[in-house]
Chain A
Amino acid sequence: MKTFALALTLPLASVLAFSAPAFAKIATGSTVSDMAVVDSNGVTHNLSDFEGQRVILEWTNEGCPYVKKHYKSNNMQALQREATASETETVWLSVISSAPGKQGHKDGNGANQTVERYAAAPTAVILDEEGTMGRAFSARTTPHMYIIDADQTLVYQGAIDDNSSSSVASIDGATNYVRAALADLDAGRAVATTDTQPYGCSVKYAS
């Protein structure tokens, strides 16, 4: 009986294990599949709703020194305003994938207050405490940036700029990959740098 139970649980356990959400990675240049996400005001959005608009995803965590570097210097807020003011309709989604109890986790009110405190300008803040959206995009750091074109193609994923230091002084003189990619898209060119190694703190998924 014991061996039977053991033999039964082994394959069962492995089947269950394989049904956990995969830490997938969407290849740059491929189409982003639809998913439903909830923002800080409780509104559900489907990524497919944004077809025809450019979507920029920014993984964030208020406590992370690298996110602070971009927010204390107003670098991220300025980038958000620039991007959403573009001629092409652009949606900026700040995504919080921190699990409950971990650094950066926010509820709806907390997220809205943070946006006010930093005078940030995202179109919406997505609360992803289960980590589903993060895992679907294989978001690894905060900040981790993704740019999705109007036809739902992923055209950029990676770091916000090329200086991975945590000090504010490093922003000046760094090449901002997101700005460069948006400039390419606005000029009708293909994005020159499509993949870079993101830097920052690790996204605080549930372990």
Chain B
Amino acid sequence: MRALFLSLFLWLIATTSAFATTSLSVDTGRVEASLLSSHYTVTPGQTFQIALKTELDENWHTYWRNPGDSGEPVQITWILPDALSADDIVWPLPDTIPTGPIINYGFEGAPLFPVAFTVAENAAIGSILEIEAQVYYLVCYDICIPEDGTLRIVLQVSETADLNDENAAAIVEAIGQAPREIAVRAAMQADGAALSIQFSDLPEGDFSDAYFFPYDKTLLVHSDPQVVSVGPDGIQIDTSASFGWQDGFSGSQSGVLAFDLNGERTGRIVSVAPGPAIAVGAVARNLPGGSGPSGAPIGLLGAIIGAFIGGLILNLMPCVFPVISLKALSLAKSAHSERAVARREAWAYAFGIFATFAILVVVLLAIKAGGAELGWGFQLQNPIFVGLMALLLFAVGLNLVGVFEIAGGTYQGTGAGLAGRGGLSGSFFTGALAVLVATPCAAPFMATAVGYALLSESAFVTMLVFAALAAGFAAPFILFAYAPGLLSKLPKPGPWMVRLREFLSFPMFAASLLFVWVVGNQAGVDGMGLVLLAMLAFALAVWLLQRKGIWRIVGVATIILAIALPFAARTETATGSADIAADAWSPERVAELRAEGRPVFVDFTADWCVTCKVNERLVLKTDSVKQAFAETNTAFLIADWTNKNDVIARELESYGRAGVPLYLYFPASDNSVRGQVLPQILTVDMLLNTLKGT
């Protein structure tokens, strides 16, 4: 009898030990589930761990506590004896699992879900604890299958706690890798559809690719990207707010902030409460590199290449035509003299270009460092500068047509005069002039490169990109000077040069007229009158200087007067006029119109921006486009940057641009805060397609 009892007891111990700590695994279909216990035996009052181990078939995934756009989280329902109480699942770090445009949060592979258990203080020694887990999960790949199973584990209460080394090690590792709670400074703000979350006092790690997994499903739109801006004091995540904000979030919301540490993905549980933004020093919403035509970020290399190509194309822009043609003329003149001379002049020209760009950029950066909101073309926002430019171009035009000469030049055959003159200083001056007249024209590829350069934090990067722009601009003439054979193909100097030089004065006068017109818009007819008066004074001075004696002195005085006159010009408040019934742009107006359900088109323009004016004439004011605006009830807003305007400059900056034009389109059906960026050179077809949504 005793033997029977003993063998029964032994058998009981044997089987208990064998099956106790790891349950039989259940194959639910795509998943093999089992329970792992950290201990064979437990003591009263002890805390121990049981983990649900799920081994998923390849490519299949289960879901996190917030499954994202679709799916259901892993669920464990425990059936426990009274002596045991179970805590919540310690969730592993989830991954974003995209399916087309839909994003889910879940797990692949063999995730472990540890749960902490506590044994009651009064548990009887020797008692058997039968633990049952009813597990349920939705497991998906291309289709979804709800699977469930029942798992059992048996433990014994004893005087000593017996560790199952293998299981305990696996569970400890899982808990170690799972996100744990930390304290950070965090705040979030929802503004319409836009949600911004700032995190500060962060632990060590690389947060440039951070992602926030909220516990609450209605906090943010899972399928929208999270744009991370890193600053010295923390990070800001910009994404879209979900409908939970309609009722508002009163208290703290928890979630997991995922980031990289030593090359591995990890996460921490954090709490965020709605509140005023924390300053983390993050740069403008786009990555510091600025963005390409549709918002894709470009890197330094992309900016340099873009700048170079932009510089090349800039040679073809109408603004620079008068100056470039002069340069071509002077090249033709020196082409048939010594090769070395032609080359030196080409380099002097290039140097003029570099130097002028450098000066403009340095001045711009210096003023910006002082806190002013300026962009590319800033010098043209000042009517005094524009007036002086008009006067300068007028003077060059007079010189070309032969009204006067600059001392040292000769009249025949060598293209005398400031710009058409031979010699290094002439080439240098031509280069400088070319840059000054190029600013009103924005070449394709230039805008994003310039935006990248000016928004970059490093002055070195800025200068590098502008150097590439200057290189591209000067390149054709350098090439010409070095290309064997090309120079000799140019026609030989002769009387035709004089005629051509005189003819080129007219495009120069036309450029001068353009600037006069811009002054008119900026400073009104009074400012225009001042500039025209300055031109008159200059013409008079030129005539006087050719006289003798006292008249020369009067002539000098008149020149000084001519140069001084434009300084009296004052900016008048601009009155824009457009054929399409246009509203002045403001961020509030955009929000108002979008709330009304209207699509919105924003035109960032300036009077001195030739590309903008060309787009207006050729596209925006055509009948078919005007009709499309009316049909689709699209609102047309103009952001006029002819004069300095901080709000416009900041808005341009937020799209990675430093100059105009910029065309934005906000479709009616889209709640995204960022507008769609349209190309700089508009075409009627493209605009009609955009408006009509085809």
- Bound-state CA distance A155–B208 (Å) is 39
Q: Which residues of B contact A204 (CB under 8 A)?
A: 99-100, 142
Q: Could you say which of B70, B142, B292 contacts A10, with CB atoms under 8 Å apart?
A: B292
Q: Which residues of A contact B667 (CB under 8 A)?
A: 22, 24
Q: Which residues of B contact A24 (CB under 8 A)?
A: 667, 669-672
Structural contact, B305 and A6, CB atoms closer than 8 A: yes
Q: Which residues of A contact B108 (CB under 8 A)?
A: none
Structural contact, B70 and A199, CB atoms closer than 8 A: yes
Structural contact, B142 and A197, CB atoms closer than 8 A: no
Q: Which residues of A contact B298 (CB under 8 A)?
A: 10
At the interface, yes or no: B4 with Cβ under 8 Å from chain A? no
* Residue ID in chain A nearest B143 by CB atoms: A103
Structural contact, A7 and B445, CB atoms closer than 8 A: yes
Structural contact, A207 and B100, CB atoms closer than 8 A: yes
Structural contact, A14 and B293, CB atoms closer than 8 A: yes
- Bound-state CA distance A44–B205 (Å) is 55
Structural contact, A65 and B145, CB atoms closer than 8 A: yes
Q: Could you say which of B101, B243, B677 contacts A135, with CB atoms under 8 Å apart?
A: B101
Structural contact, A203 and B671, CB atoms closer than 8 A: no
Q: Which residues of A contact B101 (CB under 8 A)?
A: 23, 135, 205
Interface of B is mostly: loop
At the interface, yes or no: A165 with Cβ under 8 Å from chain B? yes
Q: Which residues of A contact B246 (CB under 8 A)?
A: 194-195
Structural contact, A7 and B668, CB atoms closer than 8 A: no
Q: Which residues of B contact A22 (CB under 8 A)?
A: 667, 670, 672
Q: How far is the CB of B300 from chain A (nearest CB, A)?
A: 13
**Residue with the highest number of chain B CB atoms closer than 10 Å, among A10, A131, A202, A207:** A202
Total A-B pairs in contact (CB under 8 Å)?
Answer: 120
At the interface, yes or no: A31 with Cβ under 8 Å from chain B? yes
Q: List 27 A-B contacts (CB under 8 A).
A: A10-B296, A11-B448, A14-B294, A15-B679, A17-B296, A22-B670, A25-B221, A25-B671, A26-B669, A33-B669, A65-B138, A103-B143, A131-B100, A135-B101, A140-B69, A141-B70, A158-B243, A165-B72, A166-B72, A166-B138, A199-B72, A202-B71, A202-B102, A202-B144, A205-B100, A206-B100, A207-B99
Q: Which residues of B contact A (CB under 8 A)?
A: 69-72, 99-102, 104, 138, 140, 142-146, 193, 217-218, 221, 223, 243, 246, 292-296, 298, 302, 305-306, 309, 445, 448, 597, 667-672, 676-677, 679, 693
Structural contact, A202 and B293, CB atoms closer than 8 A: no
Contact with B along A33-67 (1 / 0, CB 8 A): 10000000000000000000000000000011110
At the interface, yes or no: A109 with Cβ under 8 Å from chain B? no
Structural contact, A14 and B597, CB atoms closer than 8 A: no
Q: Which residues of A contact B142 (CB under 8 A)?
A: 102-103, 204
- Bound-state CA distance A131–B144 (Å) is 19
Interfacial residues of chain A within 44-98, with CB under 8 A of chain B in the complex: 63-66
* Residue ID in chain B nearest A135 by CB atoms: B101
**Residue with the highest number of chain B CB atoms closer than 10 Å, among A7, A15, A203:** A7
Q: Which residues of B contact A66 (CB under 8 A)?
A: 144
- Bound-state CA distance A167–B294 (Å) is 45
Q: How far is the CB of B383 from chain A (nearest CB, A)?
A: 34
Q: Could you say which of B140, B218, B293, B671 contacts A201, with CB atoms under 8 Å apart?
A: B140
With A24-B667, A33-B668 as given contacts, are A202 and B294 in contact (CB-CB < 8 Å)? Answer: no
Q: Which residues of A contact B677 (CB under 8 A)?
A: 18
With A14-B292, A14-B296, A195-B243 as given contacts, are A140 and B445 in contact (CB-CB < 8 Å)? Answer: no
